[in-house]
Amino acid sequence: MAISTDSGYVLVTGGTGFIGSHTVLVLITQGFRVVVVDNLSNSCEEPLRRIEKLAGLSEPVPFHKVDLGDRDALRDVFRRYPIASVVHFAALKAVGESVQKPLAYYRNNVAGTLNLMDVMTEFAVRNIVFSSSATVYEAVYEGHPLRETNPLGCTSPYGRTKLYMENIIKDAVDAEAGWNAIMLRYFNPTGAHESGTMGEDPQQIPNNLMPYVSQVAIGKLESVHVFGTDYNTRDGTGVRDYIHVMDLAEAHVIALRRLAENNGYEIFNLGSGTGQTVLEMIHAMSEACGRVIPYTLDPRRPGDIDTILCDPQKATEVLGFTVRRDLKQMCADLWRWQQSNPNGYSS
pLDDT at 142 over 90: no
Tens digits of residue pLDDT in 158-193: 999 999 999 999 999 999 999 999 999 999 999 999
Are 225 and 219 within 8 A, CB to CB? no
Buried b (16+ CB within 10 A) or exposed e, 22-33: bbbbbbbeeebb
- Alpha-helix residue ranges (DSSP H) falling in the chain: 18-29, 46-55, 71-80, 95-100, 102-105, 112-122, 157-175, 209-218, 245-258, 278-289, 313-314, 327-340
The catalytically annotated residue of 9, 105, 137, 158 is 158
Per cent of the chain over pLDDT 70 is 98
More confident site: 89 or 96? 89
Known catalytic residue at 158 = yes
* Residues in Cβ contact with 326 at an 8 Å cutoff, skipping those fewer than 6 apart: none
pLDDT at 2: 41
pLDDT at 1 over 70: no
- Alpha-helix residue ranges (DSSP H) falling in 57-127: 71-80, 95-100, 102-105, 112-122
How much is the average pLDDT of 148-154?
94
Confidence at 5, pLDDT banded by 50, 70, 90: low
Confidence at 3, pLDDT banded by 50, 70, 90: very low
Confidence at 128, pLDDT banded by 50, 70, 90: very high
Tens digits of residue pLDDT in 276-299: 999 999 999 999 999 999 999 999
